[in-house]
Amino acid sequence: MLTFNKVMISEKDLKFEIASHKDQIARQQREMSDSIQYASYIQSAIMPLSGNLSKIFPESFILFQPKNVVSGDFYWFLKRRNTIIITAADCTGHGVPGAFMSILGMTFINDIINRDCTFTANGILNQLRERVMKALHQTGEGGEQKDGMDIALCIIDKELHELQFAGAFNPLYLFRKDKFIEIKGDRMPIGVHATEEISFTNHVIKLQNNDIIYLFTDGYSDQFGGPKEKKFKYIHFKKLLHDIKDMPMEKQKQTLFDTFTEWKEYRDQVDDILIMGFKYLHK
């Protein structure tokens, strides 16, 4: 017999209590795991099928690798007649909180585009920011949560061979033969910001046949690894894209994945990974 706080407990009863607690914890973990898995199904159902991007851009890829089961990163694209809208976004946090924000973002973008027949890239981001701030009751007062998202969004007019781009922190990379063009996003998020909200910048560029365009979030460049336990960094990311840009798109995707895996080695993935690449063809 064992004595705890002057209460006599037999070893048999103690073992039963321990087993019951273990069963309860295991059941709670299964329920939580099942809930998160179901949340991933909902998130996946809202995002376009990654394979459908190849129907719009025959030479394209999406490397999407969440840190957890669900992701704070999301991609979204839509083709409407001769116009294509495509975006890569990184919401505050990852896992379940980030996934909630991503669902909010995709829902808002879809609604903005369906309500407006004449839209611009910066106009979409302006409206998206307004809706996110309203949904999260953000007023800019001190002490409130700074939830939101960083995003790169472009609109491609295949009739005019023209690209519009607007970004909240996130840039767009374009390779034209051996020429590299970086279009930077504005240094303000989709959400409340320390300074007064101003319009996002609308960049317009004429596209040429075989231009290669990349949209992405910061998870790849922020990954720690290598012999010195450093971040991969954008300077190496740009060089890697330059080195692989002439490969077939599926080969590019595999090379990006293999390089990331080799760099990370045994270390934990620090953030969600999202890279989208596509080649613009006039036909």
231 and 176 together in one domain? yes
Count up the domains in the chain and report the number: 2
Task: Indicate whether 36 and 56 sit together in one domain.
Answer: no
Task: Tell me, yes or no, whether 4 and 93 share the same domain.
Answer: no
Q: Tell me the pLDDT tens digit for each residue of 165-175.
A: 999 999 999 99
- State how far the Cα of 43 lies from the Cα of 227, in Å rounded to an integer: 36
Q: Which domain holds residue 42?
A: 1-46
Is 14 in the same domain as 56?
no
Residues 186 and 255 both lie in one domain: yes
pTM flag (> 0.75): yes
Lowest mean pLDDT among 46-50, 181-185, 206-210, 260-264: 46-50
Q: Contact 211/280 with Cβ under 8 angstroms?
A: yes
Shared-domain flag, residues 101 and 145 = yes
pLDDT grade for 150, boundaries at 50, 70 and 90: very high
Which of 219, 61, 84, 240 lies closest to 150, judged by CA? 219
18-32, 59-73, 152-166, 238-252: which range is least confident on average?
18-32
Q: How far apart are CA 203 and CA 164, in angstroms?
A: 5
Is there a single domain that holds both residue 208 and residue 225?
yes
Q: Are residues 245 and 189 in the same domain?
A: yes
| Strand ranges in the chain using DSSP code E only, listed in sequence order | 2-4, 7-9, 60-65, 73-80, 83-91, 148-157, 162-168, 172-176, 179-183, 190-191, 203-206, 211-216, 224-225, 230-231, 273-280
94-137 pLDDT per residue, tens: 667 778 888 889 999 999 998 877 789 999 999 999 999 888 88
29 with 103, same domain? Answer: no
Question: Could you tell me if 243 and 182 lie in one domain?
Answer: yes
| Domain CATH for 153 | 3.60.40.10
Same domain (yes/no): 82, 205:
yes
CB 248 within 8 A of CB 59: yes
Q: Is the pLDDT of residue 281 over 70?
A: yes
Q: Which of 251, 217, 249, 246 is nearest to 234 (CA)?
A: 217
- CA gap 160, 155 in Å, rounded: 11
